[in-house]
Chain A
Amino acid sequence: MKYFFSLIFAVVLLTGASAQPVPASDENIPYLMTFGPKVETSWGDDDFSQTFFFLIPKSFNQPIYVRVYDPDIGGTVDELNGVFDTKMTYSVYGGKECYTHKDAQETQPKGNYKSGNLLASKTFGDQPNYDKNWYTFGPFNPSEGEFVPRFDGYIFKVICDGISGDDGNLYRYFLSAKMDENKAVEGANAFAYEYSFRMHENPVEVSHIYPFVDDRAISVKLSNFDWDSDGFIRTVSVARKGQLSKVSGEDNWIEDEFTIFTEEKNTSLDIQFIKRKSPAVKNNNVVVNVRNQYGELLPFYVIPIGGVPKYKYDIGTRKPVK
């Protein structure tokens, strides 16, 4: 079974689409979100830190770059709380245990979550020259990442930590083969174990995240934080046409556990975030993670493994009851 699991990831890495925008287009998430540590968690961030992992296929041997869009905390994109006084550090890690250390694969920035070799780091504040602009980390040799056999590729870890202040940092990543432009790294992907993001302001927009369910999953627990009851959180899969989950209110976590169908194993779930149409809620941030029955976190791939899951409708017929 482990072999099958590895094979799935190997196939995704080698033949998958270019998956370097984070968030990716299928997710329809406008921005990642991390707040300064001085803010109340009721603003939507439970831990003021966000970790993403980038997978580089073993066969790719060109330099790679991690580019950050709007890395500063100020200007028009970010969320102001009083005055912009927040500092945020982006760090790129590679090498041994940058991914495989257990603390790296947790939701909270505790213990040795900064495991591995620090390859690059930069702190941003209110810097207009980076407002709506890109900052590039790298170049990195793919082999500077941690080689993980079951992915048959190298992993880099990028952490965005709130250092000071109380404003909200809204940003995106792009894993690029070029330093000064966004050029996809063929066969790459990215994932996180906890997703902190900003919702669209437009209530018709639906955001998605895609946790991958391996064949060990019997049930999963979907946790969401500070959804502010802004509409619905719904799970769609190849066997589930749309299951509503409990939604969190202001500044609290809520969990919803459900059984995994056989057809859902080794596929992705589509967790949809559907905003209430009226009254419209603005500046809504949400944090989400999913664990299996063992308490293990499920990875959210920005390009869902197996593609965006679609419920397979069918048509049955019978004679009417007379």
Chain B
Amino acid sequence: MFSSKLTVCLAGLILLSAGVVYTQNYYGVQRLPFNTQSKELAPAFYGTGIVYCSDKKNNVIMSYTDLENNPLTNLYLVEQRKPGKFDNPRLFSKELTTLLFEGPATFSRDGKTIYFTRTINTSLSIRNRQLEDTTFGIFSANLVNGQWINITPFRFNRPEYNTGYPWLSDDGSKLYFCCDKPGGTGGFDIYVSTLENGLWGKPENLGESVNTPRNEVFPFLHQSGRLYFASRGHKPGEDLDIFHTAFVDSAWLRPVPLGEPFNTDNDDYGLILNAVMDTGYFVTDRAGTPDIFMAASTIPTFASCNKQEENDYCFVFYEPNNNELDTTAFAYEWDLGDGTLIRALEAEHCFAKPDTYMVQLNVIDKLTKEVYFSQASHTFIVEQIRQPYIVAPDTVVAGHEFTLSGCETHLPDFTIDGYYWDLGDGQRATGIEINHNFLFPGTYQLQLGVANRVADTGELLLKECVNRRIVVVNPVK
């Protein structure tokens, strides 16, 4: 809690310099109840529920194992009755379920097309339940009359190497996936294929800024344009961690690791986030086996925000008791208390900043030439508009970091416990001052909400918020 703007601004700078402002710090995570002692992984949004992979024993299915005797995974669907409340999982689709490996999946926006990972070689002997050839590829299928049909292999599947972990962009035009084919940077690399005239184009490796000699897997392209993926190669250590990057100005940005509570010393991967990024799912081994965890934003949401009004410290000062009978020519000299003297019947003046000014009216009698000082005086308080206030440039360049500040917020009757930012591109942050980087040109709506909380319970007491626009332009070539 801070009592003055100066203190607030200083505190904000301290927080910033301490590096506290990370978007992911403002999520709470929980292990979902449908997890088992088996593996649950690769969540994908499907309607209100989640489609995911699990290698749990299923009595209906006689399963194969890989050469290390690990059971193979199948696709399951778990419906969500209300946020955080899930039904019991069930097999996602009988048509798509085989004795072989069905792995990570992605869906078109309308939910009628699936791209999923599966063992390529389907002509395996049923007698040999320990697969020697588990090379996998990407397959697609269409939902027609409740049945998944037209199971079709991705045209770039090859039995010599693995192709999988598909993620379809929201507009359906790009398919991100992973492949360990020779010629990459090593291990699994992330590739992207673009739909051209109904055909997926030649995959392009995302390059060495994203891919490393080790594995990059589980790509997820958020609507904001941010690409999340898991990698073992972007920082020291053996565990998988989640990173994000974006394609800006014809290049992929250097991947940034998520902090806690997403990344830990265990394997963390497979992150997906909804459009407004207040809810997401990811996989982590932190409980011993791969489990799906839900991440929910702990940042308060703000509705019905007012448009931010610009502070205007301009006023007209006048002598209100003028009556029409007065015909003598007097001159008024206005001493506006900030060193400004204006000789006029009415004085229009813009103060530089909020403060308390002693405004005085000197009257000059044009007939006698006498000056009557301080015939009226007024303690004039110039205040900011009562509102949260976003300090930010009107226009910024895509891919360039800039600072947003809430330190000019003026809510004198309000003890602010938290500043909450919705940056309009799906990103959220907290703190009085934050740095941000818009990835793509466009017009975004910034939102700053402030709140105070009950000390004991943390319950929100008061909330105020404002919106304002910011224009993001392409960098000058």
**A residues within 8 Å of B by Cβ?**
204, 206, 231-232, 234, 239-244, 258-259, 261, 274, 311-320
Contact with A along B295-338 (1 / 0, CB 8 A): 00000000000000000101111111111011110100000000
In Å, the complex CA distance between A240 and B319 comes to 12
- Would B363 and A313 count as touching, CB distance under 8 A? yes
Inter-chain contact count A-B, CB under 8 Å? Answer: 77
Q: Report if A244-B321 is in contact (Cβ < 8 Å); known contacts: A319-B314, A320-B316.
A: no
- Give the residue of A241, A244, A316 whose beta carbon is less than 8 angstroms from that of B318: A316
For residue A317, which residues in chain B have a CB less than 8 angstroms away from its CB? Answer: 315-318, 378, 380
- Would B375 and A313 count as touching, CB distance under 8 A? yes
Q: Report if A313-B321 is in contact (Cβ < 8 Å); known contacts: A241-B328, A243-B326.
A: yes
- Would B368 and A204 count as touching, CB distance under 8 A? yes
- Give B357-389 interface residues, CB cut-off 8 Å to A: 359, 361, 363, 365, 367-369, 375-378, 380
Q: Is B160 an interface residue (CB 8 A)?
A: no
With an 8 Å Cβ cutoff, the count of chain B residues facing the other chain is: 29
Q: Is B348 an interface residue (CB 8 A)?
A: yes
Q: How far is the CB of A48 from chain B (nearest CB, A)?
A: 31
For residue A320, which residues in chain B have a CB less than 8 angstroms away from its CB? Answer: 314-316, 348
A231, A242, A315, A317 pick with most chain B CB within 10 angstroms: A315
Interface SS of B by simple majority: strand
A245 and chain B: residue at smallest CB distance: B327
In Å, the complex CA distance between A241 and B368 comes to 14
In Å, the complex CA distance between A311 and B330 comes to 13
In Å, the complex CA distance between A316 and B319 comes to 6
Q: Report if A318-B363 is in contact (Cβ < 8 Å); known contacts: A204-B368, A243-B325, A274-B368.
A: no
- Give B188-218 interface residues, CB cut-off 8 Å to A: none
Q: Report if A318-B321 is in contact (Cβ < 8 Å); known contacts: A204-B368, A242-B326, A244-B327.
A: no
- Give the residue of A240, A258, A274, A316 whose beta carbon is less than 8 angstroms from that of B317: A316
For residue B328, which residues in chain A have a CB less than 8 angstroms away from its CB? Answer: 232, 234, 241-244
A-B pairs with the 4 shortest C-beta distances? A316-B320, A242-B328, A313-B376, A313-B375
Q: A317-B378, A319-B312 are in contact. List 17 more A-B contacts (CB 8 A).
A: A232-B328, A242-B328, A242-B365, A243-B326, A244-B327, A244-B328, A274-B368, A314-B320, A314-B321, A315-B319, A315-B376, A315-B378, A317-B316, A317-B317, A319-B315, A319-B316, A320-B315
In Å, the complex CA distance between A311 and B320 comes to 12
- Give the residue of B314, B321, B380 whose beta carbon is less than 8 angstroms from that of A239: B321
**B residues within 8 Å of A by Cβ?**
312, 314-323, 325-328, 330, 348, 359, 361, 363, 365, 367-369, 375-378, 380
Q: Report if A206-B315 is in contact (Cβ < 8 Å); known contacts: A234-B328, A239-B323.
A: no
- Would A240 and B316 count as touching, CB distance under 8 A? no
For residue A258, which residues in chain B have a CB less than 8 angstroms away from its CB? Answer: 325
Q: How far is the CB of A276 from chain B (nearest CB, A)?
A: 9
B318, B325, B365, B380 pick with most chain A CB within 10 angstroms: B325
Write 10 A-B pairs (CB below 8 A) sorted by A numbering. Answer: A204-B369, A243-B326, A243-B327, A258-B325, A259-B325, A274-B367, A312-B321, A314-B376, A315-B318, A317-B315
- Would B368 and A206 count as touching, CB distance under 8 A? yes
Q: How far is the CB of A227 from chain B (nearest CB, A)?
A: 14
- Give the residue of B317, B321, B330, B378 whose beta carbon is less than 8 angstroms from that of A242: B330
For residue A313, which residues in chain B have a CB less than 8 angstroms away from its CB? Answer: 319, 321, 361, 363, 375-376
For residue B319, which residues in chain A have a CB less than 8 angstroms away from its CB? Answer: 313-316
In Å, the complex CA distance between A232 and B367 comes to 8
For residue A318, which residues in chain B have a CB less than 8 angstroms away from its CB? Answer: 315-316, 318
A231 and chain B: residue at smallest CB distance: B367
A241 and chain B: residue at smallest CB distance: B326
Q: How far is the CB of A21 from chain B (nearest CB, A)?
A: 23
In Å, the complex CA distance between A232 and B366 comes to 11
B359 and chain A: residue at smallest CB distance: A315
For residue B314, which residues in chain A have a CB less than 8 angstroms away from its CB? Answer: 319-320
In Å, the complex CA distance between A241 and B359 comes to 20
For residue A319, which residues in chain B have a CB less than 8 angstroms away from its CB? Answer: 312, 314-316
For residue A241, which residues in chain B have a CB less than 8 angstroms away from its CB? Answer: 321-322, 326, 328, 330, 363
Q: How far is the CB of A244 from chain B (nearest CB, A)?
A: 5
For residue B318, which residues in chain A have a CB less than 8 angstroms away from its CB? Answer: 315-318
For residue B348, which residues in chain A have a CB less than 8 angstroms away from its CB? Answer: 320
In Å, the complex CA distance between A242 and B332 comes to 13
